[in-house]
């Protein structure tokens, strides 16, 4: 079957997540349905990440197998036509060798978490950010974040429903910056545990509020105990930014 690499943008608000599930609509299901309408046959789709309910994507890499050959432009345009009115857009499509797998070939995944740090409501940012009213101390959060970078047992920051074989992951980057009224958390790693990003952000926000110290974060990490995690940040502020593959420029 011809395989096409897709770059997909979506608003995760109406979905149970990326992955097809029986309890509601998913992004994967919507794209597979569009692919089937295009090719007249089952069109399996796989993504670089399995985002949770309410999580968004700026450029999720996926691949789709179609029963017929089409030009990449036709794939992009036809999928977008069949996806309407879903808040999902195929930004790009390219023919790819079937050795490529969006999930298993991926070498690094990048995420962004947006906190709107102001007293006023979210307004136009509804379902796009986590609204935190009290002022957040960015420097304190950035300092605490340094203790989380590197290879660790992230059991404390792992959902109890996580199905990963091991809690040990290598966090390559965790930066905290202020962008006007927003505080941005940028993270990248070869792979993440279920709820890891939201757990890390929620914990660091406790530091920004002055409720936790850098030492408290270190202690929580070393405890390897889920009950020691801070409150988990809501899904609305999380974005899958991009996936990285070997040979990519």
Residues with active-site annotation = 52
Helices (H) and strands (E) in the chain, counts: 5, 11
Q: What residues are paired with 64 via a beta bridge?
A: 4, 45
Q: By the 8 A CB rule, do 238 and 198 touch?
A: yes
Burial readout 89-124 (b: 16 or more C-beta within 10 A, e: otherwise): bbebbeebeeebebbebbebbbbbbbbbbbeeeeee
Residue that has been written with the tokens 């102001």 in this structure: 118
The secondary element (H helix, E strand) that includes residue 243 is strand 238-245
d(CA 241, CA 121): 25
Residue among 120, 103, 119, 189 nearest 154 (CA): 189
What are 194's two structure tokens?
A: 């279920």
d(CA 157, CA 200): 6
């Amino acid at each position: 079957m011809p395989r096409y690499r897709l770059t997909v943008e979506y608003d995760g608000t109406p979905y149970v997540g990326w992955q097809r599930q029986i309890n509601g609509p998913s992004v994967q299901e919507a794209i597979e349905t569009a692919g089937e309408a295009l090719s007249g046959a089952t069109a399996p789709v796989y993504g670089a990440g399995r985002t949770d309910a309410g999580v968004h994507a700026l450029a999720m890499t996926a691949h789709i197998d179609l029963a017929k050959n089409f030009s990449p432009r036709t794939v992009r345009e036809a999928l977008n036509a069949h996806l309407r009115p879903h808040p999902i857009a195929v930004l790009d499509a390219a023919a790819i060798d079937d050795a490529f797998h969006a999930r298993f070939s991926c070498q690094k995944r990048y995420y962004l978490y947006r906190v709107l740090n102001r007293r006023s409501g979210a307004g136009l940012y509804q379902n796009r950010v986590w609204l935190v009213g009290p002022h957040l101390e960015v420097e304190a959060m950035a300092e605490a974040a340094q203790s989380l970078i590197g290879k660790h047992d992230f059991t404390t920051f792992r959902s109890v429903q996580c199905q990963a074989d091991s809690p040990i992951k290598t966090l390559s980057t965790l930066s905290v910056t202020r962008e006007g009224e927003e505080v941005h958390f940028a993270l990248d790693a070869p792979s993440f545990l279920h709820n890891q990003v939201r757990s890390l952000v929620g914990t660091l926000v406790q530091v920004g509020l002055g409720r936790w110290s850098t030492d408290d974060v270190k202690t929580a990490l070393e405890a390897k105990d889920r009950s020691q995690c801070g409150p988990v940040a809501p899904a609305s502020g999380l974005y899958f930014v991009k996936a990285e593959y070997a040979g990519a420029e």
